[in-house]
Amino acid sequence: MIKWWKITGAVLVLYSLIWGLYTPIPQLAILEESIRNLFYHVPMWFSMIVILTASMYHAVLYLAKGKIESDVKSAEYAKTGLLFGLMGIVTGMLWAKHTWGAYWTNDPKLNSAAIGLLMYFAYLVLRSSIEDEEKRARVSAVYNIFSFPIYIVLIFILPRLTSSLHPGNGGNPGFNSYDLDSKLRLVFYPAVLGWILIAFWVADLGIRTTFLEKKKEEHA
Amino acid sequence: MHNILTILLQAQTNAISGKIEVVIAVIAALFVGVVAYLVYLDKKIKKLEDK
């Protein structure tokens, strides 16, 4: 049986895909119909943050209890977080091209997001460079715990301190201020929750496959 | 000022027309396909776990 939360995630995302294209939107210059990207681009980042929080949680758990299962979970959540971060970057670049005029600008929000993703790529490189299982688990748990708060500062705090094109930063309003009739919210919140659940589903498949791999290695 | 502008802009609600339903149906079908594959993988892994 497929777990109830996985089905819930799929249903919520399906709802947001359908209703997100159909719902009336506020008519805004420059953004125009592209405001609908709010339902698709932004949930990628929400999912990434939540899943990377889970990754750090399991890194802490590993250091506290020393169970290798926590290390597997931490690593798989980090990989899923990277996937969603990459999808966030790609969708954001497309949106930027058609509203700001360029795929990439040297905006603090954009550069910070890119640096953050590189930190998690480095995490994977670090993991693959250590042979010993326990040592790898310990070193990467410490790295994970350090990189998460840095990422948070990079994408949520630094862009607010300077000027930024991105909504919700440096004097620019977030989408909440456009959202007078809450019609956007009615699609946006289910989309965020749905994609978070889908992200956990994808990570869950990765975790279970790795466990199976480990079990097979033990028997061999 | 900003609020008034937004309300005015919102007043002209956009009625989407021009076969957008077809696009919505296609996107929905794609997503259902991906989810079906996730379900398939999930069940396959479950079978291996039960072995």
CB nearest A212 (choices: B12, B27, B49): B49
Contact between A14 and B3 under an 8 Å Cβ cutoff? The reply is: no
Contact between B39 and B47 under an 8 Å Cβ cutoff? The reply is: no
Contact list, B43 vs chain A (CB under 8 Å): 2
* pLDDT single digits (tens) A94-125: 999 999 999 999 988 999 999 999 999 999 99
Can you state the angle between helices A133-152 and A68-99, rounded to 10 degrees?
Answer: 40
CA–CA gap between residue B23 and residue B27 (Å, rounded) = 6
Contact list, A178 vs chain B (CB under 8 Å): 6
**Element holding A69 (H helix, E strand):** helix A68-99
Within a domain: A8 = yes
Structural domains counted in chain B: 1
High-pLDDT (> 70) share of chain A, %: 95
CA–CA gap between residue A35 and residue B10 (Å, rounded) = 13
Within a domain: A195 = yes
Does residue B6 carry a pLDDT above 60?
no
Within a domain: B7 = no
Q: Which of A212, A180, A200, A208 is nearest to A52 (CA)?
A: A200
Within a domain: B6 = no
Cβ of residue A11 closer than 8 Å to a chain B Cβ: no
* pLDDT single digits (tens) A173-189: 666 665 555 788 899 99
Supply the pLDDT for residue B23.
Answer: 85
Contact between B5 and A169 under an 8 Å Cβ cutoff? The reply is: no
Name the token pair of A144: 């994970």
Structural domains counted in chain A: 1
The residue segments making up the domain with residue B43 are: 21-51
Supply the pLDDT for residue B15.
Answer: 46
Q: What average pLDDT is seen over chain A?
A: 91
Can you state the angle between helices A183-219 and A42-65, rounded to 10 degrees?
Answer: 40
The residue segments making up the domain with residue A62 are: 4-213
Within a domain: B27 = yes
Supply the pLDDT for residue A159.
Answer: 85
Within a domain: A11 = yes
Within a domain: A220 = no
High-pLDDT (> 90) share of chain A, %: 73
Supply the pLDDT for residue A162.
Answer: 80
